[in-house]
């Protein structure tokens, strides 16, 4: 069976890489002895990861439970981090909100994506603690990695990123014309960005496919995960993935189990009505509770993070009624979050440890130690760098 090599490679074992503490570099453990290894560990809560075509690694740290000292960083070879693109962009502090401009500082970054044209894209929902959106702060920024300077900023006004929104993750069309973003906030939605004009619009705003599912209760360690005041996990549309040909976009809520998709042609048509777009939504099946999604380069399977099970799963996209199966599982993979692939075919993923954070455990440290991992995928299964955009066509 052609899928056996990937599954066998990842299930060789589930023991953890014997890495040192915070700030450690790549673990010195043979890939033949175990399926994944620790790349780095951090003193703060990480979510997104991106890997450039020349192997540079970037991560981001959202302001959820602390006024994080660095929002976007490059991971150096020794495991240390360097503010990116520079210190000035990382100078924002919640305590200095009235003294700084949110348009050219990282306010609360949620995800980073590297493209095949040498750019890093940074998505900033600008809602510290996933609470109030800072006016003028929500943005998608393109950084030229050759010059390490921003080259484009798409700002989102309140019609796209209203109060209660939390822009979560982003994918790009292969022709570089469009970006697709999930909003996991109070009222879930998708956001479609025309990267040539800079214009954006919300779609499927309040549609059942982008909302949290009331019947689902997100668990951790077998127990429903709740805040001290009794509230559970309420993230709406979050995980997002695009097929390599750019024809279909997939997404799902974290507080949900159902995976949806839509033909991107329906999203790209700026003249389509809300009803027309909603009519094109398809139910794919159930993933269970999931956070990060990524479709392999070959396009026939999806990698799914499974935070309830401390696991990564794989879902075949062909055939009816398929369900994801476990690729690798380990108790120390606390809340696998975002996914990216390096030029060597290694799959990188973060563990954000959301269930261990001060949001749900009042006695937890505000600065939560987290990790970045990688796992070797068979070259035939290597994923694109989150469906990298090419230069927009003229």
DSSP for 131-175, please give it: -SPPTT--EEEEEETTTTEEEEEEE--TTTS-TT--EEEEEE-TT
Residue 384: how many CB atoms within 10 A of its CB?
19
For residue 249, what are its two tokens?
């976009």
Report the alpha-carbon distance of residue 154 to residue 123 in Å, rounded. Answer: 10
Asked whether the beta carbons of 253 and 260 are under 8 A apart, the reply is no
Cα torsion 287, 291, 50, 345: sign? negative
Using the CB atoms, write b or e for 127-145: b if 16+ within 10 Å. Answer: bbebeebbeebbbbbbbeb
For residue 271, what are its two tokens?
């003249």
Asked whether the beta carbons of 253 and 288 are under 8 A apart, the reply is no
* pLDDT tens-digit profile, the chain (394 residues): 222 233 333 333 333 333 323 233 333 333 345 689 999 999 999 999 999 999 999 999 999 999 999 999 999 999 999 999 999 999 999 999 999 999 999 999 999 999 878 999 999 999 999 999 999 999 999 999 999 999 999 999 999 999 999 999 999 998 889 999 999 999 999 999 999 999 999 999 999 999 999 999 999 999 999 999 999 999 999 999 999 999 999 999 999 999 999 999 999 999 999 999 999 999 999 999 999 999 987 788 899 999 999 999 999 998 767 789 999 999 989 999 999 988 888 899 999 999 999 999 999 999 999 999 999 877 445 543 333 333 333 3
Q: How wide is the angle at C-alpha 362 spanned by C-alphas 356 and 365, nearest 5°?
A: 60
How far is CA 148 from each of CA 74, 117, 174, 233, rounded to the nearest angstrom? 11, 13, 23, 36
Q: Provide the strand spans (E) within 195-288.
A: 200-203, 219-220, 223-224, 237-242, 248-253, 258-263, 282-286
Asked whether the beta carbons of 172 and 120 are under 8 A apart, the reply is no
Q: Spell out the domain ranges in the chain.
A: 4-381
pTM of full prediction above 0.85: yes
Report the alpha-carbon distance of residue 28 to residue 20 in Å, rounded. Answer: 10
Superfamily name with CATH number, domain 4-381: TolB, C-terminal domain (2.120.10.30)
For residue 123, what are its two tokens?
């998505």
pLDDT at residue 190, as a whole number = 98
pLDDT at residue 298, as a whole number = 79
pLDDT at residue 35, as a whole number = 84
Q: What residues are paired with 178 via a beta bridge?
A: 194
Report the alpha-carbon distance of residue 367 to residue 52 in Å, rounded. Answer: 27
How far is CA 354 from each of CA 8, 234, 314, rounded to the nearest angstrom? 29, 13, 22
User: How many residues are recorded in the chain?
Assistant: 394
Q: Report CA dihedral (129, 127, 232, 331) to the nearest 10 degrees.
A: -70
Closest CA to 88 of 108, 76, 105, 103: 105
Report the alpha-carbon distance of residue 361 to residue 247 in Å, rounded. Answer: 41
Q: Is 2 left (phi over 0), alpha (psi -120 to 50) or beta?
A: alpha
């Amino acid at each position: 069976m052609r899928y056996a090599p990937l599954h066998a490679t990842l299930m060789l074992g589930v023991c953890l890489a014997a890495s040192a503490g915070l700030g450690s570099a790549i673990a010195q453990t043979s890939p033949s002895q175990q399926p994944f290894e620790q790349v780095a560990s951090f003193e703060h809560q990480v979510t997104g990861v991106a890997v450039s075509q020349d192997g540079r690694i970037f991560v981001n740290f959202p302001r959820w439970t602390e006024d994080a000292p660095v929002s976007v960083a490059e991971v150096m070879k020794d495991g240390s981090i360097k503010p990116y693109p520079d210190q000035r962009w990382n100078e924002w502090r919640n305590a200095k909100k009235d003294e700084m401009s949110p348009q050219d500082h990282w306010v609360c970054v949620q995800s980073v994506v590297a493209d095949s044209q040498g750019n890093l894209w940074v998505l900033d929902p600008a809602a510290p603690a996933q609470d109030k959106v800072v006016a003028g702060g929500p943005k998608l920024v393109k950084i030229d990695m050759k010059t390490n300077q921003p080259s484009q900023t798409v700002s989102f006004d309140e019609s796209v990123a209203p109060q209660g929104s939390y822009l979560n993750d982003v994918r790009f069309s292969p022709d570089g014309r469009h970006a697709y973003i999930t909003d996991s906030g109070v009222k879930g939605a998708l956001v479609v960005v025309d990267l040539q004009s800079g214009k954006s619009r919300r779609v499927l705003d309040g549609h059942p496919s982008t909302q949290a599912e009331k019947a689902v209760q997100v668990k951790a360690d077998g127990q429903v995960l709740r805040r001290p005041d009794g509230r559970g996990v309420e993230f709406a549309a979050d995980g997002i993935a695009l097929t390599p040909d750019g024809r279909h976009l997939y997404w799902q809520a974290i507080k949900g189990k159902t995976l949806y998709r839509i033909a991107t042609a329906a999203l790209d048509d700026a003249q389509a009505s809300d009803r027309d777009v909603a009519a094109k939504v398809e139910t794919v099946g159930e993933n269970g509770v999931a956070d990060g999604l990524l479709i392999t380069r070959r396009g026939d399977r999806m990698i799914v993070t499974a935070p309830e099970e401390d696991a990564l799963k794989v879902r075949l996209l062909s055939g009816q009624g398929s369900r994801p199966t476990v690729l690798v599982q380990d108790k120390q993979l606390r809340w696998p979050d975002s996914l990216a692939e390096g030029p060597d075919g290694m799959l990188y993923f973060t563990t954000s440890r959301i269930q261990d954070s001060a949001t749900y455990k009042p006695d937890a440290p505000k600065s939560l130690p987290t990790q970045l991992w990688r796992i070797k995928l068979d070259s035939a299964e290597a994923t694109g760098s989150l469906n990298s955009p090419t230069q927009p066509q003229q």
